[in-house]
A and B are shown apart, each in its own frame.
Chain A
């Protein structure tokens, strides 16, 4: 099986630089290609001597054998210089890049800087005379300003009058050159750095040691970005990484919020990032962290996600047809993969914006093969809110701590994380007339995640044990808490060259308890006739097992059959779901174009519309929700770094719960609302219905290989539910057209600008002619983001402005129905990297 991963190491230094793989942001499982043989590139014959340095940049495509398959000109400096670099660079030899241990193809920018050859002295006597004048010594250490990384292979040019003396920095960034006494002009050139100029003055027979600090051309925090797809066994996955995660306008740099601008996704409303994926209810899409469900995703529902962004290496998004390792959902899956610490990576970061402050610390202990990482944030939205209103207080915090040893297939990890949100409202005043804030809502969770990795690339096993405590409170008195234990096992065995077997077991035991100050604490469904309870006290057991075969009989065909079974038990209710699934991929040309298709069954227990800690699965006695998902399409690479992905899908949902009941009914519109309407609403929530959704998704994507990233995503879709009379009606959050344009561009002097435009049709609303028979106006939203990185001698400071809805465009639809509203949400933030 030939794994095809196209990666790009943006902002490439000298070849030896990326071989060190020092960049802390590098993909966890990606190992950069390492130089084996460098072919010299000489100053072209017959080209005249120039005053300055000349640079040529090419893109090297390095194949799985480490050979340069192609060298393409990116920026030239004249035919002779371009030709010299193109001809020589195809002769370079590398140890190939690897992804998870497998060789992969990568694309690497390479810049060669030509140093003008020194002007020859007129005759031998002059040379001898000149050498006698070299009585002093200039020694130096060349480092990058801000990060203090050494700069290897930098060219040092010392000019004394008409004479030029050359030196090249070694792997430690040091150089040494004999110079005459007097005044010298020193220039340092490095492909990744701005030109450096300094004047030195040496006395005769003196030695001067200098530490030259070079400004980098671009101090992007994400210099190494996987720009292609790694090994793919599924049909519908979009992987985001690097700047695509943290620099998308309108997300405030939150990796999980980027999902909202991908194909097949809309939201219940702009400021509430609950995704509606391929026409499914928000509660049917699961959010995971390293394959473990997150009980609370966003602080205060619309704020930042509960995990520090620096912990997230990449986000995998599956709008449907997701792998068997994920169970318990019938919509999509969003899985944030945490970053594996590296033994060279020591970092301290502070961040501050109008809503929160945070810290991130990573410390490696190479001798013990250990890496430790801690992070935490405190949110203080009440500070700003207090300027406007003193009757509401909002606060949140989260923490993460991880220690890990070993590598991808051997080692262990202990990961602890948690988060808390609290809303306090003035329900009453004290005797002095001062408002007294009382708890209105509390959401809190803690997790301990222990992992043991055994084996190798051929046979591997991951054993995990997760313990957790969840707590949700509504009002000042009622609190639901959950204690859970979740063992997990994952195994993979390469049975033959063309066949791999993956399997896993999930378990979960959780004990719910509800406390009500001054009374019994059970939440009961609004209608006694309804059998389900929202959250039974007592034990709940969940178990899942899956197995799949990854079969690649020939390099252009991949077949992945598998099955997953999940068992749920709560009180007297027990449910079993069995989900067979199949994925097919067929490559139709030699390189980049794949046809793909998948079909499968997906089941889940009834879940709350909003995921809350400890309040998740409910009404199990109503049965499991089920969907039959099918998808077909193709993906191709149009040019290096430019990809096109087209998919069609059809999902049959039977049954769905908690759907098609949120919008206002025609009776309410006509003012005929009464208590019976409330009962109808509740009954409707608990009524199992049939649903269907189908559509077309197109994504044209430019990877972040040369400072520009972005995509155009378009979704044409229809999502419907069957009403009580058997008629198909539009789903509450159905949108026929969703168009997203996202772009981010690096500019000189460490500026980055980005924009996002969203244009989508409105959502259904009821009219006098029937439920969801009308539609709100289309929505336009424009977001803007500007980033600047300032560099000091030993640290970096990032500054950003992110403005959501810069033109204060009107929004209606979704949760707010026809009640149009306008808003603009700007923020300013800082991040210091030490």
Chain B
């Protein structure tokens, strides 16, 4: 719970700090009109002081967000991952970072990095890195497809007390092998391919920030490895390997900075 709170603060901080001071610009489609000066300013006209002026907006916010350029998105992501076969179910919660380029009014290209703490029957870290083309069909709506690399690091919650490995090598101990699905691999530390599809809607809150929810489905196939004691011939650990497949549904909220 404390982690969730902290993460929320971290993600919100840029908006809280910057949004409060960000120049307030009216969202409008038409060309800027002449500003009506305040009465107090008139008294300065013949004064020696200078009246400070910022540049008027030259375009509407929604148009600014459609312009090509670099963006960074930060967000939290939470979901459920169904383990297929020997893979345990996961309940990950964590953060995502997405640097991306708006290349045209309707298309963008980005990379999403996510790191989630997995809880439940498997405790550890789930991470992913995907390359994503995104289609922006209407206002803040966006559809993304991504492929990349993801992984798991941790162990089954039930295996804390009786995990094998890390002792002197027994002569009978097998060499590195791929573990069949009918055996249970307690630990997992490795990666594999990851694919996802995402739909999101971002509300434009000014020329600098937009924010909104997203939903995502993904599938990840991880080549889990569990290190045993070291092989005396190579000095490297003996590794047992098993393929785990997870299908998941995730949702979250993120903030984009332009």
Task: Give me the interface of A with B, judged by CB distance under 8 Å.
Answer: 140-141, 145, 183, 194-199, 201, 206-215, 354, 384, 387, 669-671, 747-749, 751, 753, 765-769, 773-777, 784, 786, 788, 790, 792-793, 797, 799, 801, 803, 806-808, 810, 818-820, 822, 824, 826, 828, 830
Contacts and interface: CB of A to CB of B under 8 A. Distances in A.
Contacts of A801: 72, 74, 97
B44 interface: yes
Given A797-B17, A826-B95, 12 more contacts: A199-B35, A209-B50, A210-B52, A213-B54, A669-B230, A670-B168, A751-B72, A765-B236, A788-B72, A790-B208, A807-B127, A808-B127
Interface string B1-27: 011001000100110011001100000
A183 B18 contact: no
B6 A818 contact: no
B127 A199 contact: no
22 contacts: A199-B34, A201-B34, A201-B37, A208-B51, A209-B45, A209-B47, A209-B50, A210-B51, A212-B53, A212-B55, A669-B230, A748-B69, A751-B70, A751-B72, A768-B232, A774-B236, A790-B22, A790-B208, A818-B235, A818-B237, A820-B237, A824-B115
A747 B53 CA distance: 26
Interface in B242-258: 257-258
A354 B232 contact: no
A563 B234 CA distance: 47
Contacts of A141: 50
B49 A213 contact: no
A214 B13 CA distance: 27
A211 B52 contact: yes
B38 interface: no
A749 B237 CA distance: 49
B203 to A, nearest CB: 20
A206 B37 CA distance: 15
B52 to A, nearest CB: 4
Interface string B98-124: 010000000000000101000000000
A251 to B, nearest CB: 18
A196 B55 contact: yes
Nearest to B148: A807
A210 B50 contact: yes
Contacts of A215: 55
B48 interface: yes
Nearest to B64: A749
Contacts, number: 153
Interface string B184-198: 000001110000000
A808 B153 contact: yes
B99 to A, nearest CB: 6
Given A669-B232, A807-B149, A822-B189, A199 B52 contact: no
A197 B55 contact: yes
B46 A206 contact: yes
A806 B129 contact: yes
Given A209-B49, A808-B151, A387 B2 contact: yes
Given A199-B34, A201-B34, A774 B53 contact: no
B60 interface: no
B10 A354 contact: yes
A766 B235 contact: yes
A751 B258 CA distance: 9
Nearest to B33: A199
A357 to B, nearest CB: 14
Contacts of A826: 95, 97, 115
Interface string B160-202: 0000000011000000000000000000011100000000000
Contacts of A803: 97, 113
Contacts of B125: 808, 822, 824
A501 to B, nearest CB: 53
A415 to B, nearest CB: 34
A208 B48 CA distance: 9
B204 to A, nearest CB: 16
A753 B99 CA distance: 9
B233 interface: yes
A671 B47 CA distance: 89
B72 A786 contact: yes
A767 B2 contact: no
B243 to A, nearest CB: 17
A15 B131 CA distance: 44
B230 A822 contact: no
B257 A788 contact: yes
Contacts of A828: 10, 13
B32 interface: yes
B58 interface: yes
Given A199-B56, A753-B70, A671 B168 contact: yes
A209 B70 CA distance: 37
Given A183-B34, A201-B34, A820 B227 contact: yes
A826 B11 CA distance: 13
A818 B239 CA distance: 12
A580 B52 CA distance: 65
Interface in B47-90: 47-56, 58, 69-70, 72, 74
A135 to B, nearest CB: 14
Contact of B55 (A194, A354, A820): A194
Given A748-B69, A774-B235, A807-B149, A207 B10 contact: no
A140 B50 contact: yes
Contact of B232 (A211, A670, A751, A820): A670
Contacts of A819: 237
A810 B232 contact: no
Contacts of A806: 113, 129
Contacts of B3: 387
B113 A211 contact: no
Contacts of A670: 168-169, 232
6 A-B pairs with the lowest CB-CB distances in the bound complex, closest first: A671-B168, A774-B235, A211-B50, A765-B235, A768-B232, A199-B34
Given A748-B69, A774-B234, A774-B235, A211 B53 contact: yes
A767 B233 contact: yes
A509 to B, nearest CB: 47
Nearest to A807: B129
Contacts of B44: 209
Nearest to B126: A808
A790 B207 CA distance: 12
A796 to B, nearest CB: 12
